[in-house]
Amino acid sequence: MRLQTVPAATGAAWVKQGWRAFSQQPLAFSGLFAAFLFVIFLLTLMPLVGSLLLLALLPLGSLGFMVATRDHQAGRIPLPRAFVEPLRQGAAKARAIMLLGVVYAVASVLIITLAEWADGGALDELMQVLADGKATPADVGERLADPRLELGLLLRFGLAGLLSIPFWHAPALVHWGGQGVAQSLFSSTVAIWRNKGAFLVFALTWCAVVLVFGAGANIIAGLLGQPQLIALLAMPASLLLSTAFYTSLYFTFADCFAERDQPAPLPPAESTP
């Protein structure tokens, strides 16, 4: 694969392309995301092992959406088989993708462990208070005021963001580029660094989309005098946004990497009389 550098404005184009692809086949992509969520639900039913398997399958999940989006671009209907197609491209590629998953799971567990050590369980206490349903605003405020909570959240989100950089393109580079685990992680990191302007715009554009959706829901609920509509609209809106986001992932890869041009075939040798 040949690494390409794109203008910063391309980041907004990736979001637009993701929405366009989703709007052209909303049922197919929604069904794909529903299948993805169903697998996540099944894994959550398995204590401990299920959580580890879930983390290990996330790189394959993002690659599955890229494969499905590429199928759509080729005029085919995105189907859940896109999630298993990368494992059917030969033993070497399947092993590399599974190893990527193992590395991602181990790194994620280390991040979670470090964050829990740093916050001393402050986040767990906050979640328990919120889940209890009987907590007073003072109880919630006390947990939120814990300085360890801020440190734990910074470590979780900061380190998770850094971890996403080498894994952003790595599964696709294994699948379409035939790269090994180490090379794909390195290539992904270099690609995002060289196109950091485009990825910054990509992230900011998605943040703007989420804010617009949130503001729109609040305005509609206010005009109708039904504040409970916000909670009612939150779930379908989050599913819609998540599906469109995963659909846009392929375009970030397609613009950052291109297949190397194949050399032109040599002319046939003239026969000697």
Residuewise pLDDT in 10s, the chain (273 residues): 789 999 999 999 999 999 999 999 999 999 999 999 999 889 888 887 888 999 999 999 999 999 999 999 999 999 999 999 999 988 999 999 999 999 999 999 999 999 888 878 777 777 776 666 666 677 667 777 777 878 888 888 899 999 999 999 999 999 999 999 999 999 999 999 999 999 999 999 999 999 988 787 777 767 766 666 666 777 788 889 999 999 999 999 999 998 765 444 444 444 444
To which H or E segment does residue 258 belong? strand 257-258
Cα(219)–Cα(80) distance, integer angstroms: 36
CB 108 within 8 A of CB 163: yes
DSSP assignment, residue 79? -
Amino acid, single-letter form, for residue 199 = F
DSSP codes of every residue in 101-142: HHHHHHHHHHHHHHHHHHHTTHHHHHHHHHHHS---HHHHHH
CA distances from 270 to 265, 267, 273 (A): 15, 9, 9
Structure token digits, residue 68: 């499905």
Helix and strand tally (H, E) in the chain? 10, 2
